[in-house]
């Protein structure tokens, strides 16, 4: 459903710790999911994606987990660094939707040195 | 390779005025998307071009918004007349294919007073 309010969920972690950012997606028919990172003054930047026929995908320091049963997506960042501080958005889409992305509310990650 | 560029970066206009936003996609990307983030809420889809054709404009809020992509290169998004609730950040993204990674521009921050 619609998110409300002006305040994003915030996650604060210590440098070097692992971060887990969660997202509940809306449409059980979605078959492609992406995590984006948005730094202040910049547009969203692709981090990692996963298709619905997978439940886990790993990148460099990042892992995305997909649980279709409960429509849940998570992004794990290993050894979080100050440069990881940003707003993280999950997005979903369907193959027959032409690439139109439906974004989640976003989570602000703050990394303390 | 140049990324997606948007102009202007910031626009402040009065209610009732007209504003035109411009997006230059990555060269060779046929797919161009417009999104916006209003009042700190989630990023929402506005419309999708494939070359010069509008494929999906289901996210356009009303007929005060007009998007064009003449020649299938850059795109413009005109708001006429602007209302207070149009304030937000307007993002453009482009991709090679409909289900390929979308590259976002830095956004245009529109403030309607």
Q: Establish if A113 belongs to a structural domain.
A: no
Q: What is the DSSP track for A20-47?
A: EEEEE-S-TT--EEEEEEE-TTS--EEE
The count of structural domains within chain A is 1
CA distances from A15 to A9, A78, A110 (A): 19, 10, 9
Sheet holding B75-79, edge to edge: B5-7, B19-24, B75-79, B65-68
Tens digit of each residue's pLDDT, chain A (113 residues): 333 334 678 999 999 999 999 999 988 889 999 999 999 989 999 999 999 999 999 999 999 999 999 999 999 999 999 999 999 999 999 877 788 999 998 999 999 98
CATH number of the domain within which A73 lies: 2.60.40.10
Domain-embedded: residue A111: no
Residues listed for chain B: 113
Q: Is residue A32 part of a domain?
A: yes
What is the dotted CATH code of the domain comprising B5-112?
Answer: 2.60.40.10
Closest C-alpha among B55, B53, B65, B58 to residue B110: B65
- Nearest residue to B25 via CA among B75, B80, B63, B86: B75
Report residue B41 as tokens. 């809420």
Q: Does B71 touch chain A (CB under 8 A)?
A: no
Domain parsing of chain B, residue ranges: 5-112
Q: Which domain holds residue A67?
A: 10-104
Measure CB to CB from residue B45 to each of A44, A45, A102 and give the nearest one. A102
A43·B104 Cβ contact <8 A: yes
Give A45's contacts in chain B (Cβ within 8 Å): 104
Residue A23 inside a domain? The answer is yes
């Amino acid at each position: 459903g619609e998110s409300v309010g002006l305040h994003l969920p915030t996650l604060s972690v210590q440098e070097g710790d692992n971060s887990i950012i969660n997202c509940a997606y809306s449409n059980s028919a979605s078959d492609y999911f992406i995590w984006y990172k948005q730094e202040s003054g910049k547009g969203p930047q692709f981090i990692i994606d996963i298709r619905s026929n997978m439940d886990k995908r790993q990148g460099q320091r990042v892992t995305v987990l997909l649980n279709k049963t409960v429509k849940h997506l998570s992004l794990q960042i290993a050894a979080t660094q100050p440069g990881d501080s940003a707003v993280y958005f999950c997005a979903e889409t369907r193959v027959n939707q032409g690439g139109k992305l439906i974004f989640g509310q976003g989570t602000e990650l703050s990394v303390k040195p | 390779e140049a990324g997606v560029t948007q102009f202007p970066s910031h626009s402040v206009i009065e209610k009732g005025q007209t504003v035109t936003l411009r997006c230059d996609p990555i060269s060779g990307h046929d797919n161009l998307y417009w999104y916006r983030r209003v009042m700190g809420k989630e990023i929402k889809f506005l419309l999708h071009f494939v070359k010069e054709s509008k494929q999906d404009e289901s996210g356009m809020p009303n007929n005060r918004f007009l998007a064009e992509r003449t020649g299938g290169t850059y795109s413009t998004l005109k708001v006429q007349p602007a209302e207070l609730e149009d304030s937000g950040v307007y993002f453009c993204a482009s991709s090679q294919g409909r289900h390929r990674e979308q590259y976002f521009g830095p956004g245009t921050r529109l403030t309607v007073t």
